[in-house]
Amino acid sequence: MRYEGRVFRPPSEARSLIIQAAVGCSYNKCNFCDMYKENSFHLPPLEQVMENLALGRRCCRQAEKIFIADGDGLIRKTTDWQVLLEAIARLFPECRSVNVYGSPRSILLKSPQELILLKSLGLDLVYLGLESGNDEVLTLMNKGATAEQIVTAGRRVKEAGLRLSVTAISGLGGQKLWREHARDTGAALSRMKPDYIGLLTLLPEGDTPLCRWIAEGSFQLLTPRQILEETLFLLENLDAEGALFRANHASNYLRLGGTLNRDKEMLRQRIQKGLSGEVRLLDEEFRGF
């Protein structure tokens, strides 16, 4: 099976069969991200994708979940997706979930009717990076979309009947914008009401503009304690009934998990225990592993 570049996938896709339908990220200009930098974005021929799918069937005895990589597989034409999803249904009758990363642009390029069609053919879940609900932070990080555009994309996914998983990044506003970042991120998530919310913590890596700003002192990272205080403020501004909330990525100082809004108080109490020292935070040297 041919695969170009490093494999990046959501933690929840650890046991999925991964099929590469796009190489790299169609945008790949975010100032905080060092993923996919070794490859220029391109779409492999559909015939190659289908060959990999057939090879996956021969190599994998059971594939209940399939993840379509790379960073923005949804950018492929709807006609390509039709062929791909029909082949998955034929080759992997046991598959119960086909999932993909979607950028705000790739989602909004699809009409509501196209997304409904993909849902009917077996697409199940779209992962969308919000990162921040604050436009000043999004502009600083060169996200390439406004908060309103990202919210519109997320709502379009939900309206098509697809499941939606949205990620945000604690600390992305730095010392200057942490309050605005937490407030507006909570508000944006509340408007989308995703099925899943993944809260990561900023972990600067690689040769990115953000790393250079940190080195020169123009961007000040939050301390672990400030990250927890920011998370508390985000929760105060978050209303997403029924969403599964997780902060259990390797970047997080404190593992959190619960169902909103039911478990808000439990989440607050755990954060308070982290602030008081009753629960130990992850040591800096182990973040990212």
Res. 141: pLDDT tops 80: yes
- % of the chain exceeding 90 in pLDDT: 88
For residues 197-218, give the mean pLDDT.
Answer: 96
For residues 221 and 174, is the Cβ–Cβ distance under 8 A? Answer: yes
| Residue 87 clears pLDDT 80, i.e. is over it | yes
CA nearest to 74, candidates 85, 90, 64 = 85
Is the predicted pLDDT of residue 219 greater than 80, yes or no?
yes
Asked if pLDDT for residue 244 goes beyond 80, the answer is yes
The predicted model gives 18-29 an average pLDDT of: 93
- Residue 40: the pLDDT is 87
Q: What is the largest CA-CA distance in the chain?
A: 57
pLDDT value, residue 283: 92
Residue 264 main-chain phi, psi, to 5 deg? -55, -45
Give me the pLDDT at residue 289, please. 58
Q: Where are the domains of the chain?
A: 13-278
Residue 262 pLDDT > 80, yes or no?
A: yes
Q: Are the CB atoms for 73 and 103 separated by under 8 Å?
A: no
- Asked whether residue 148 carries a pLDDT value surpassing 80, the answer given is yes
The class that CATH gives domain 13-278 is: alpha beta
